[in-house]
């Protein structure tokens, strides 16, 4: 009988984001840069070396939904539009608080095997057609870590771009320069998690702080629209000092990068900490504002974080976009991407 790994290995195609080495292939789709020996798989478990050729997942989705772009979350990227969001399986991290662990921990955690039941084989044209049917202006790769399936995403994004759609990633940011350069021609927006500001903690999740910071800087330098999200977890990353460090780092890249501080709820193996109280998000947001960030948002607690779901003009403080949760109730940004009151340019992708 076919194993889950064999089934997933059938749903692959030869990859191209890698280099050959004398004894295997060096995958460059994420910062692990695994040396994958013949017959073996990388840290993500999804990219495999078949007879000296790296293969990556292709030709399926494990989830596909038309979501508000605010759910990704993007606040400065076509507010109020729908994002046809697809996900595959697997991840290069193993966060014990993952809210998508059933799709991310495939072949790593046996409890996530049920995710394979949701696999639907599809071609890139089929994903774009689904976006057209839904009236989505955006296509998003999310739910699992998109970096590990970048060849598949680029095949979809090329078609979507021809149809005038915008394309985004919802990623943990553990990228290489090579994969970001490969994505840059088709990737319009990148949401990156900044999960903490402790390298020690990052390593327990399977990553490295310095590399995620480099991705934020490098993607911004490439001209990709970047928004940063920090899930604020009690006793993990919610000290005043660590919140300051995260905010100051984002500010050092650009004051125009939106920083989302979002509320945690106990999940997967991280159930000892309680939910993030609204007061903690308020404090984190104040820290972001004091650090000099122009746009700070509090998420996952709709209606409970005061004005922190809205966008205000950083110059005259006029209300620009009014939101309740994922719903946009008002959007006053002009066709010239400016504040209608004072003419200040508002950073983002508005049209
Ligand atoms: S995507 Fe990352 S984890 Fe997966 S094989 Fe490539 S380098 Fe390794």
- Could you tell me if the CB of 32 is within 6 A of ligand 1? yes
pLDDT in tens, 310-344: 999 999 999 999 999 999 999 999 999 999 999 99
- Could you tell me if the CB of 94 is within 6 A of ligand 1? no
- Could you tell me if the CB of 165 is within 6 A of ligand 1? no
Judge contact between 9 and 57, C-beta under 8 A: no
- pLDDT, position 272: 85
pLDDT in tens, 97-133: 999 999 999 999 999 999 999 999 999 999 999 999 9
- Could you tell me if the CB of 25 is within 6 A of ligand 1? no
Mean pLDDT of the chain: 97
- pLDDT, position 27: 98
Q: Which residues of the chain have pLDDT under 50?
A: none
**CA-closest residue to ligand 1 atom 5:** 42
- Could you tell me if the CB of 57 is within 6 A of ligand 1? no
> Using alpha carbons only, what angle is made at residue 314 by residues 294 and 247, rounded to the nearest 5 degrees?
10
Q: Please tell me the distance from the alpha carbon of residue 66 to that of residue 89, in angstroms, as a whole number.
A: 18
Q: Please tell me the distance from the alpha carbon of residue 31 to that of residue 29, in angstroms, as a whole number.
A: 7
Q: Which residues of 274-298 are buried (b: 16+ CB within 10 A; e: fewer)?
A: eebebebbbbbbebbeebebbbbbb
- pLDDT, position 78: 98
Judge contact between 56 and 13, C-beta under 8 A: yes
CA–centroid distance, 42 to ligand 1, in Å, is 5
- pLDDT, position 306: 86
All domains of the chain, ordered by start, with CATH? 4-57 (no CATH), 60-331 (3.20.20.70)
Ligand 1 atom showing the smallest separation from residue 174 Cα: 2
- pLDDT, position 174: 98
Percent of the chain exceeding pLDDT 70 equals 100
- pLDDT, position 309: 95
């Amino acid at each position: 009988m076919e194993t889950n790994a064999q089934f997933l290995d059938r749903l692959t195609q030869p990859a191209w984001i890698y280099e050959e080495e004398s004894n295997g292939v060096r995958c460059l789709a994420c910062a692990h840069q695994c040396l994958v020996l013949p017959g073996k798989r990388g840290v993500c478990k999804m990219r495999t070396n078949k007879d000296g050729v790296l293969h990556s997942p292709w030709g399926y989705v494990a989830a596909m939904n038309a979501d508000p772009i605010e759910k990704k979350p993007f606040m400065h990227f076509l507010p109020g539009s729908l994002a046809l969001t697809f996900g595959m399986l697997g991840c290069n991290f193993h966060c014990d608080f993952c809210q998508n662990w059933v799709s991310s921990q495939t072949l790593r955690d046996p409890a996530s095997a049920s995710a394979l039941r949701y696999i639907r084989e599809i071609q890139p044209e089929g994903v774009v057609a689904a976006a057209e049917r839904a009236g989505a202006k955006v296509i998003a790769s999310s739910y699992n870590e998109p970096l590990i399936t970048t060849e598949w995403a680029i095949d979809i994004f090329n078609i979507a771009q021809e149809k005038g759609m915008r394309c985004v990633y919802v990623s943990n940011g553990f990228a290489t320069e090579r994969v970001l350069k490969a994505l840059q021609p088709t990737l319009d927006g990148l949401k990156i998690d900044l999960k903490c500001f402790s390298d020690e903690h990052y390593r327990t999740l399977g990553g490295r702080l310095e590399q995620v910071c480099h991705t934020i800087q490098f993607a911004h330098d490439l001209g990709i629209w970047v928004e940063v999200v920090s899930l604020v977890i009690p006793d993990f990353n919610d000290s005043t000092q660590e919140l300051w460090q995260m905010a100051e780092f984002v500010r050092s890249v650009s004051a125009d990068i939106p920083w989302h501080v979002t509320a945690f709820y106990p999940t997967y193996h991280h159930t000892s900490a309680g939910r993030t109280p609204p007061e903690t998000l308020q404090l984190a947001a104040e820290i972001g504002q004091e650090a000099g960030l122009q746009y700070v948002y509090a998420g996952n607690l709709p209606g409970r974080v005061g004005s922190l779901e809205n966008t205000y003009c950083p110059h005259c403080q006029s209300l620009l976009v009014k939101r309740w949760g994922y719903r946009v109730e008002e959007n006053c940004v002009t066709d010239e991407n400016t504040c209608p009151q004072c003419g200040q340019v508002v950073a983002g992708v508005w049209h």
